Structure 1
Amino acid sequence: MNTWAVPGYTESLELGSGASGRVVLAVHRETGIPVAVKYLSESLHTRPGFVHDFRAEARLLAGLDSPYVTGLYEYVESPDGAAIVMELVDGVSLRSLLTRQSPLDPEAALVILKGSLLGLADAHRLGVVHRDYKPENVLVRPDGGSKLVDFGIAVSTGESAGVAGTPSYMAPEQWTGAPASPASDVYAATATFFECLTGHKPYPADNLAELALRHIDSPVPAEEVPEPVRSLVRRGLAKSPTERPAHAEAFVADLEAAAVAGYGPQWEERGRGRLAALAALLVLLRPPLRPRAETTTDTARTVLRSGGGGGGGWGHAWRPTRPGLLVSAAAALLAIVLAYGMPRSDNAAADQAAEAFATTSARPGVESGPTSTASPASSSGPAESSAPVPSGSSPSGSQGPASDDPTATSSSPGQEATPTGSATATPTPTTASPTAPVAPAVKDVAVSGFRQTGPTTGTTTVSVSTDGTGPISVTLAWYTGDTSGQLGTPDATPQTFDRSGATQYTFTVDHTFQGKGCYWAVQATTTPASADGGASQQILTRRCDIR
């Protein structure tokens, strides 16, 4: 369990937890504003790739100023932990609502779909694909409105980030590791809409392989939903992304036209009223989420906005300003320096210098900076996100219980640019003796883009990040098997690649498989061993025989 806590907040209640971390209810001491604090788990915080992904999620939320997406107040990082401080949504998850009453009235289901689609639309306009739309990640407020949460595995449109998502809601192209597309979010939203209308998921299955094949090959079960919305379900669950609405905004237009034609111009008012009654009941049955404010000095100098805003919460979603971006950039680099360059010490002054700091301000024009004495200078680059299963759990979570639904996916953390240095030899009157190159520390290994290219062939991309330019070896081992989440039986002889002269290496490797299992896997390790222990990825092949 995490022992580190964000400075300046008083925590009172755990809202949810999982392998990737936990979400707790807290109050900002200086302003009295209730917030939700999402902590990266202690075990994942020691793995640089997951810290990259967590930081990338905060960076993404900082740019999303939408009343339909939970707002970011600040991202906080120290050598002892990392946390995202978010707007607290006083509502319940759609999953909790469906557990209480399912199926929903069509008009209420349409209201939920429209609200969360508007959140997706705001993300899609910024070139962001959520990749994990599901009932657990939609929060319904007592007024019947809804908000989208958990961008833990979101990526940029067109990015190849491997197989990731929640299997019951994954589009066919997500199972094959195709580049991220807004149409995949449309598919997941439609699958959730189908569940709201029928009380069950569109493609039930006994195992992961069968589920994948049903999503890829089975007909759309549109006849199970009310006739006025069948066209919506057919389009949203189309097998090819080109046959679906290209993005959420286009799907909203289709939804409104179908809703008015099938249920009349007052459909949204009636649906919101029914939804509000059910959501309000569930909120009343649960312990209150508004803790009492305390008056204590805020050592983190965090600035929050207490007025209402477009986000509908107690604070408004933060929009990047020039001061905020500068602070974020400086703080991100300082986090790198603290993580890799500062020796740990029991000295009180050193501990104080390594204290956690806020990276953003929620109010334009007000500075918010670190409390430590270190001086950051620049920012780190954007990071990829993924939801690894064979080798770990994704940094995800929301203001509710974390989902443990497995996926066949890769560990594809982002990478930091690492400065390189050169050793200066001291000249002597005679001859200079060459110095043997020193092997660097391997900071990060990522396996991404693993996909099947033919009946027996596959390809993958490997990325390695080091802290020096000395020689390293990268070994790829291939496996086949019939069990999800396990590497299986070794397939042929591992391949070893020697590299030197840089701090980052990326290369693509092809392999011809000889085994007959349903699953293929690849594992990358290095010499010297990497800080994160290496990386692996597993995919489900199309040649699997389901009996």
Structure 2
Amino acid sequence: MDGLVCAPNINYRIEQVLYCNDVTKRQFYKVKNIELGMFYGLKVIEIDDFQAAKQVKNEVTALNRLPFGMAPKCLQYWVQGKQHYLLLDWIEGNPISALYQQRPQSGMEEKQRLLVAQKLTQRVADIHRVRMLHRDIKPENVIVRMQGNNVQDVLLIDFGLANQQRAVEEGTPFYQAPEQSLSRHIRLSEGVDVFSVCQTIHFLITGHPLQLSPNFTNDDWSQPLAHSLSASGISAPLTTLLAKGLAFDPNKRLKQAATLNNELRQLLRR
């Protein structure tokens, strides 16, 4: 795509390429309204079939179902050939995946990352209150807004799965709950987002998700969670908390992001 995007009745100039994936045929740009000088996010998806087009429309519906301020709204949607365009509110900030690639270098830095985690769980709890599941929470989809050295806000992006019917497998490896890849018959609950959030918190502290693999009977992890978490060098209180959210069995997993949020608040007070 060249530097100019022609939408119905108005043109946008590409200011920054945020990602361009040839496999998924999805691109995301920071664009500028040439006439007004305002910035927006522009998601471009190349689609070959009716079902995929329906999924894009479901994503637009999901975004605009959420209350104001909870996620970027889709302001305009149009189609040119196989290209589907979603013009979104621009969110200033950086994804967790870009901000935190190494372990914290001090106790103060670790506390700041736990604050990011607490604000993330609050955001997820807000989404669950309006009866929506994100279903693909990962560091790339969590935007942190800073004000100087202080965490101002944390927002979720990419609600592409939130309003879709279940596929054989969904989500992102390591961040997807087991029932999203192994148990098609299980009804998804808030626990899938709790699992993904806990893996994202692990990334916040260590720079990578916890490496988990199912046992031979696909009914639990091959290694005890406490052992795997301790080997990551995570503190005992955080190990206890993450173990609750990373349980293989959704019935044994921490069920609500609001509960995870409250426990993180208590951890931050120590």
TM-score relative to the length of structure 1: 0.42
* Greater length-normalized contact order (CA 8 Å, ≥ 6 residues apart): 1
**Which of 30, 40, 49 is the equivalent residue of 1:25?**
30
Q: Is the 8 A contact 1:93 1:139 kept in 2?
A: yes
> 2-side partners of 1:67 and 1:114: how far apart?
18
Percentage of matched positions with identical amino acids: 24
Q: How far apart, CA to CA, are the structure 2 residues paired with 1:215 and 1:17?
A: 36
Are residues 56 and 21 of structure 1, via their aligned partners in 2, closer, same or farther at CA, if it must alter by over 3 Å?
same
Rounded Cα–Cα distance in structure 1 between residues aligned with 2:253 and 2:125: 15
Q: In the alignment, what sits opposite 2:237?
A: 228
Q: Can you list the C-alpha shifts for 1:371-394, whole angstroms capped at 9, x where unaligned?
A: xxxxxxxxxxxxxxxxxxxxxxxx
Partner Cα distance (1:198, 1:166) in 2:
18
Q: Does 1:258 align with 2:267?
A: yes
**Which structure carries more helix by proportion?**
2
Q: Which runs of 5+ in 2 are unaligned?
A: none
* Structure 1 equivalent of residue 12 of structure 2: 10
**What is the CA-CA distance between 1:22 and the residue it aligns to?**
0.9
Measure how far apart 1:29 and its partner are.
4.1
CA drift at 1:213: 6.2
Cross-structure match for 1:119: 123
Equivalent pair of 2:41/2:88 in contact (CA under 8 Å) = yes
In 2 relative to 1, CA 67–227 (structure 1 residues): closer, same or farther, beyond 3 Å? farther
Partner in structure 1 of residue 256 of structure 2: 247
Inter-partner Cα distance in structure 1 for 2:246 and 2:25: 30
1:257 and 1:245 map into 2 onto residues whose CA distance is: 16
Deviations for 1:197-238, whole angstroms, at most 9, x for unmatched residues? 223321167xxx88x969744321332311232221111112
Task: State the Cα distance separating 1:173 from its structure 2 match.
Answer: 1.5
Residue equivalent to 2:74: 72
Residue aligning to 1:436: none
* Equivalent-residue separation in structure 1 for 2:68 and 2:257 (angstroms): 14
Alpha carbons 1:116, 1:146 under 8 Å: kept: yes
1:173 aligns with: 179
Q: Shift of the alpha carbon at 1:131?
A: 1.3
1:110 equivalent to 2:114? Answer yes
> Partners in 2 of 1:80 and 1:20 — Cα distance?
11
Change (3 A) 1:82 1:171: same
- For the structure 1 residues 204 and 39, does the alpha-carbon distance in structure 2 shift closer, same or farther, using more than 3 Å as the test? same
Matched AA of 1:107: K
What is the distance in 2 between the residues matched to 1:51 and 1:4? 20
Q: Which runs of 5+ in 1 are unaligned?
A: 263-547
Choose from 39, 42, 61 the match for 2:44.
39
* 1:98 alignment counterpart: 100
Secondary structure in 2 aligned to 1:27?
strand
Deviation at 1:71, TM superposition (A): 3.1
| 1:197 alignment counterpart | 205
Q: Which amino acid aligns with 1:196?
A: L
Aligned partner of 1:16: which letter? Y
Q: Secondary structure at the match of 2:44?
A: strand
Q: What one-letter code is carried by the residue in structure 1 that aligns with 2:14?
A: S
Deviation at 1:51, TM superposition (A): 0.9
> Which has the higher Rg, Structure 1 or Structure 2?
1
Query: CA RMSD for the aligned pairs?
Result: 2.8
CA shift in 2, pair 1:214/1:198, >3 Å: farther
Q: Is the 8 A contact 1:191 1:202 kept in 2?
A: yes
Structure 2 CA distance for aligned equivalents of residues 4 and 91 of structure 1: 23
Please state if 1:151 is matched with 2:159: yes
SS of 1:153's partner is: coil
8 A Cα contact 1:75 1:85, kept in partner:
yes
CA distance in 2, matches of 1:215, 1:168: 15
TM-score with structure 2 setting the length: 0.81
Alignment length (residue pairs): 252
